[in-house]
Amino acid sequence: MRFELATERLLLRDYNKGDLEDFAAMSSDSEFQRFYSEKDCSPEHWKKLLAMFISEANEQPRTNYNLAICLKSDHKLIGSVGIRLEDNRQASVGCSLNRTFQQQGIAQEAMQSILNFGFQELNAHRIYAETISENRAAIALCEKLGFRKEAEFIEHRYFRNRWWNTSILALLSSEYLYNQPSDDL
């Protein structure tokens, strides 16, 4: 059974083997690769990731929802969004988007949907994101969604011949539910 979430403009769905070309096109963009290690930017790695995402969709119980972001209008893959369940009702999230579709509110729409799913359907208590601290777009997206910065790990990752700081941003279910629009007007 294929898993899907729908928003106003988007279909978030399980990956399939036919997604490799679009996934590779997004992942091979030099701007996309800035915050990833060299080994994470190889065609072999993308094939392994896609195979892993497809395999995870069949696990029972399912704990990883790595989904293709597609426009409803043409069902073409334009990005990736995911939530991964951890112990103690914790979950991590992430999102990436083909540069052609950035700055249109698509990443925010996809992340809002995955947060709704995480808090309402998966009963997560805390959802967090980890990103390279220089990735201002990722941090801004999290902040728009109500995340707060919890930590910054100094020289936490090493790739591209340098050390990188990483930031952890998080949102509790109580904070999330408090900031949702009310229908009681």
Evaluate whether residue 17 is within a structural domain: yes
The residue whose two tokens read 């996809």 is 110
* Distance, CA of 101 to CA of 108 (rounded, Å): 12
Distance of CA 149 to the CA centre of its chain: 17
Amino acid making up residue 98: N
Residue 131 is part of a domain; what is its CATH number? 3.40.630.30
pLDDT at 185: 42
pLDDT at 181: 57
pLDDT at 79: 95
pLDDT at 39: 83
pLDDT at 8: 95
pLDDT at 178: 67
Peptide bond into 181 cis (omega under 30): no
- 72-90: per-residue pLDDT in tens? 999 889 999 999 999 999 9
pLDDT at 174: 95
Evaluate whether residue 97 is within a structural domain: yes
Average pLDDT over residues 164-177: 95
- 93-132: per-residue pLDDT in tens? 999 999 999 999 999 999 999 999 999 999 999 999 999 9
pLDDT band at 157 (very low <50, low <70, confident <90, very high): very high
List CB contacts of 68: < 8 A, sequence separation 6 or more: 12, 13, 14, 15, 19, 23, 77, 79, 80
| Residue 27 predicted with pLDDT over 70 | yes
pLDDT at 163: 97
Evaluate whether residue 129 is within a structural domain: yes
Which residues form the domain of 29?
A: 4-178
Evaluate whether residue 113 is within a structural domain: yes
pLDDT at 12: 98
Evaluate whether residue 155 is within a structural domain: yes
Residue 168: other Cβ atoms inside 10 A: 19
* Distance, CA of 64 to CA of 101 (rounded, Å): 25
Evaluate whether residue 143 is within a structural domain: yes
Burial of 103 (0-12, 13-18, 19+ CB in 10 A): exposed
Distance of CA 13 to the CA centre of its chain: 13
- 34-76: per-residue pLDDT in tens? 888 888 888 898 899 999 999 999 999 999 999 999 999 998 8
* Distance, CA of 185 to CA of 174 (rounded, Å): 21
Evaluate whether residue 183 is within a structural domain: no
Nearest to 92 by CA among 61, 125, 120: 125
pLDDT band at 165 (very low <50, low <70, confident <90, very high): very high
Average pLDDT over residues 135-145: 96
Evaluate whether residue 184 is within a structural domain: no
| Element (DSSP H or E) covering residue 68 | strand 64-71
Domains held by the chain: number: 1
